[in-house]
A and B are shown apart, each in its own frame.
Chain A
């Protein structure tokens, strides 16, 4: 797989964000590859540019900001930055999908969750009629929502935070994307729920052969989930490497300081 062309190849990506009175270079000269089926992590503190990088691939800007992107984002060999908005719209959801941090605000509160998945399927697939809802229920089942046929008719507020994140993941995988971008997918969740969601992402990735781009501030979250890690600091990748080497032998001073700041917790000997 490694010998083949990467699924995603980002070259010299720069993101300038215009605020009220200045232009901030949030991402500077970032380059990385994601192979088919590979999982890559981005770790850094708030404001380091990791989320801006993730959104750049989807050509999305955070609400209320104006972002200018330069460089190349090659997805299956096509530069996403040269696509028309219409072409990019087809790409989003169908081939590249994203899960955000906040499961409370990412869902439409006045639509049933079933209708929200139906909507994605109608827009991006050939399914129609009853097949749409049947597929939505299948998806809810795949992400571990119990009693999916009945729960499809419930509204977001009737679900817990963890369940809502499962629903967002169901929406993201609805069209079998080749690349799933997860931006702090478990940060808002309790630690036991986080453990469940990470297992779910892991399982889906393996079952579907998806590539995964996992953005997080937590080295513990990337540790078991990805093969490669990029550490970002002030808009640049300061260290990159395979996860085992990077976590055991960090080279860059910044990576070392980040890892040193992680409070160590003794790992319970008996993990059955």
Chain B
């Protein structure tokens, strides 16, 4: 790895800085515009994992794609290694792609079925020219060893591997260009629980060795707890809670976070029986009306973000308070 070009040195600032990221989609059949991501702001430091959780349709995948500039950003800013990606020209953006990579959910469809593992791994190396042609073979061996796979597999095809092995190959491909930042979108969701645990361990080990920063998008809160240093909870396109994982999981500040945590089935019969006996709170989370919020602040007039600190580095939105149905 010594030969590869180091990123434009930015040792002090965060690796990723997202502020007021908004993505809207045109409505169906001329209907109202849909705001998939609504003024999301967060930072990710070097070697840090930010977990992004929320139910399907909450905007977490769109956030990941918008950060990677795979989705058109409506407004807001995404700075990677100090450089603004929103509105960046094609060529410079292509160069920046070397620093940011994507690992997606389905290891069955994200590998080309007709290419050998060797071809799959050499492609990013050729595109981004991070190593000389002569060194490509050597680098592929390095990459496979990095994800704990036997380098002898280079001439085999994706279908010869299990889901977990395929996901290792996808990770190796993402790491080929020595990225600083990887978006993992439901990267372990399709895998069995024991395989999940192995991939989580692998991702953590790689983070430690390579100083990677992750945006770890998942609906499974337990996996995110394992992976993330800090976690953001999304609801209806907005981040409703953001803080250190321990704080968010152990003393959640937002009612929606609490509902999510209380809904996870735990492998303890006594607790689960008790939970199933209790009816779920019949509430809806409605975006609050204009006017003073629960913290007596009128964000519409002050122009401040509807976030309130409730602990060190731990903030909660005053929007989407539960209301009885």
Contact = CB atoms under 8 A, between A and B. Distances in A.
Residue of B55, B225, B268, B269 with highest tally of chain A CB at under 10 A:
B269
Interface in B257-278: 258-276, 278
Interface in A24-57: 45-46
Contacts of B278: 271-272
Interface stretch (A9-17, A78-86, A113-121, A217-225): A217-225
A223 B267 contact: yes
Contact of B193 (A194, A217, A244, A265): A217
B275 A271 contact: yes
A262 B267 contact: yes
Interface in B96-145: none
Interface string A240-272: 000110010000000001110111111110011
Given A191-B263, A218-B265, A199 B276 contact: yes
B101 to A, nearest CB: 24
Contact of B265 (A45, A196, A224, A271): A224
A239 to B, nearest CB: 14
A248 B35 CA distance: 46
A262 B193 contact: yes
A84 to B, nearest CB: 38
A140 B171 CA distance: 45
Given A220-B265, A271-B278, A191 B219 contact: yes
B150 interface: no
Nearest to B252: A268
Contact of A257 (B194, B223, B274): B194
Interface residues of B, number: 39
B234 to A, nearest CB: 12
Interface of B: 55-56, 192-194, 196-197, 200, 219, 221-223, 225-226, 249-250, 252, 258-276, 278-280
B193 A258 contact: yes
A190 B55 CA distance: 6
Contacts of A202: 276
Given A220-B267, A268-B252, 17 more contacts: A45-B194, A46-B192, A190-B56, A192-B259, A195-B262, A198-B265, A199-B280, A217-B192, A223-B265, A223-B271, A224-B269, A261-B193, A261-B194, A263-B225, A271-B262, A271-B271, A271-B275
B203 to A, nearest CB: 13
A267 B268 contact: yes
28 contacts: A45-B194, A46-B192, A161-B56, A190-B55, A191-B264, A193-B55, A194-B263, A195-B265, A198-B265, A198-B276, A202-B276, A220-B264, A220-B267, A223-B269, A224-B272, A224-B273, A224-B275, A224-B276, A244-B270, A258-B194, A265-B222, A265-B225, A265-B261, A266-B249, A267-B266, A268-B258, A271-B262, A272-B278
A271 B268 CA distance: 14
A264 B219 CA distance: 15
A218 B219 CA distance: 15
A220 B272 contact: yes
B193 A271 contact: no
A264 B261 CA distance: 12
A219 B250 contact: no
Contacts of B275: 195, 224, 271
Interface in A126-149: none
B269 A192 contact: no
A201 B226 CA distance: 30
B265 A194 contact: yes
A271 B274 contact: yes
Contact of A265 (B197, B221, B259, B280): B221
A47 to B, nearest CB: 9
A261 B223 CA distance: 10
Contacts of B226: 263
Contacts of A257: 194
B244 to A, nearest CB: 14
A193 B275 CA distance: 14
Residue of A193, A217, A220, A265 with highest tally of chain B CB at under 10 A:
A265
Residue of B56, B249, B279 with highest tally of chain A CB at under 10 A:
B56
